[in-house]
């Protein structure tokens, strides 16, 4: 039986969680996480940072990075057969981000965990260029999570339901768009970026991206991207974040294909990963495609890290 690897799981060190506004309850329960993995037959899980306000309450990013990355590093050493970890960087400090990567790798972490934006600046901004060069050189996969602190639209609509459902997802969609428009994906062909939650609403926008780009290019109102947006964007990786809707999975599959989709549970936001795994079995793709999504694609990214 093909292994199941979870590309989107959260566990937060207690010393970090207690300094957040939301994650201090239920997000540091390692026993529950391991039980969920066992019950669902999940072999390994990647621990990602969900983005939070902890840096504000801890006095800055340096303190947060130190506590979080060391805390995650300690857990993956404690459970090396079950857990993998992605480290965080001091956002807003381009000169320090690359230096933090050395510390992350020394801790045994296998990738980077970044929010889609920081204080309104997206990962497509020029200030992130040294980061992409280093991540590509070191074969470090970059896991992009929706920004949960002041995501796009929060200045106009502050709603406890609309923010996580709509604004989080549009923030990560805009992130993918800015990275495309700034040429990140074209310049760094070896960079592996995994966007959470299907990269927001990206699969819904494919036709509109291409038709609008073609119209604007004919009037010389947008720069030449070298190819249609759909050809650029379909080469990124996305995770499905516990989704159990066959129709949504099929739409993502039609665009990204089985080689670029990673299964993820989004634990503990989603506590029943079995439903999402069962939904995968209903997809109209062959066994190999399902195995790729459930684990092989993520395993291959880890192999690239070891090259």
Residue in the structure block whose two tokens are 């889609």 = 116
Sheet holding 237-239, edge to edge: 5-9, 44-47, 83-87, 111-115, 142-145, 193-195, 237-239, 261-262
CA geometry: angle 97, 102, 104, nearest 5 deg: 85
CA geometry: angle 78, 9, 266, nearest 5 deg: 160
CA distance 161 to 108: 37
Give pLDDT < 70 ranges for the chain.
1, 304-307
Which of these, 293, 239, 306, 302, lies nearest to 3 by C-alpha position?
Answer: 293
Would you give the DSSP letter of residue 103? Answer: H
Cis peptide before 99 (omega within 30 of 0): no
Q: Is 218 exposed, middle or buried (0-12, 13-18, 19+ CB in 10 A)?
A: exposed
User: Pairing relation of β-strands 111-115 and 142-145?
Assistant: parallel
Measured over the CA atoms of residue 103, residue 107, residue 109 and residue 115, the dihedral's sign is negative
Q: How far is CA 268 from the centre of its chain?
A: 15
CA distance 291 to 274: 15
CATH number at residue 142: 3.20.20.140
Q: Which helix (H) or strand (E) holds 132?
A: helix 129-137
Give the range of the structural domain holding residue 48, as residue numbers without chain letter. Answer: 5-306
Residue in the structure block whose two tokens are 């119209």 = 215
Which of these, 58, 115, 105, lies nearest to 85 by C-alpha position?
Answer: 105
Number of domain units in the chain: 1
Computed over its alpha carbons, how large is the radius of gyration of the chain? Answer: 18
CA distance 51 to 49: 6
Would you give the DSSP letter of residue 166? Answer: I
User: Pairing relation of β-strands 121-122 and 117-118?
Assistant: antiparallel
DSSP lists the bridge partners of residue 145 as 115
Residue 266: the pLDDT is: 97
**Which SS3 state, helix, strand or coil, does residue 109 take?**
coil
pLDDT digits (tens, 9 = 90+) for 210-250: 999 999 999 999 999 999 999 999 999 999 998 999 999 99
């Amino acid at each position: 039986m093909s292994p199941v690897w979870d590309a989107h799981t959260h566990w937060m060190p207690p010393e970090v969680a207690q300094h957040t506004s939301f994650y201090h309850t239920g997000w540091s329960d390692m026993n529950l996480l391991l039980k969920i993995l066992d019950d669902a037959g999940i072999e390994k899980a990647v621990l990602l940072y969900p983005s939070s306000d902890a840096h504000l309450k801890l006095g800055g990013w340096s303190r947060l990075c130190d506590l979080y990355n060391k805390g995650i590093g300690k857990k993956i050493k404690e459970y090396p057969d079950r857990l993998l970890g992605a480290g965080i960087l001091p956002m807003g400090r381009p000169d320090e981000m690359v230096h933090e990567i050395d510390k992350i790798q020394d801790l045994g972490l296998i990738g980077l965990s970044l929010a889609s934006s920081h204080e309104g600046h997206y990962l497509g901004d020029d200030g992130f260029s040294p980061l992409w060069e280093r991540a590509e050189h070191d074969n470090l996969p970059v896991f992009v999570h929706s920004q949960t602190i002041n995501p796009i639209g929060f200045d106009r609509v502050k709603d406890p339901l609309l923010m996580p459902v709509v604004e989080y997802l549009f923030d990560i969609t805009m992130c993918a768009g800015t990275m495309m428009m700034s040429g990140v994906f074209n310049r760094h062909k070896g960079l592996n970026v995994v966007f959470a939650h299907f990269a927001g609403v990206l699969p819904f926008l494919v036709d509109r991206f291409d038709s609008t780009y073609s119209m604007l290019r004919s009037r010389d109102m947008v720069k030449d991207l070298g190819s249609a947006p759909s050809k650029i964007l379909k080469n990124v990786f996305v995770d499905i974040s516990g989704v159990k809707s066959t129709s949504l999975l099929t739409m993502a599959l039609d665009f990204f294909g089985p080689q670029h989709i990673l299964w993820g549970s989004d634990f503990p936001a989603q506590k029943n990963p079995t439903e999402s795994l069962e939904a995968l079995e209903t997809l109209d793709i062959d066994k190999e495609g399902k195995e790729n999504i459930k684990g092989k694609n993520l395993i291959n990214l880890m192999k690239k890290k070891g090259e």
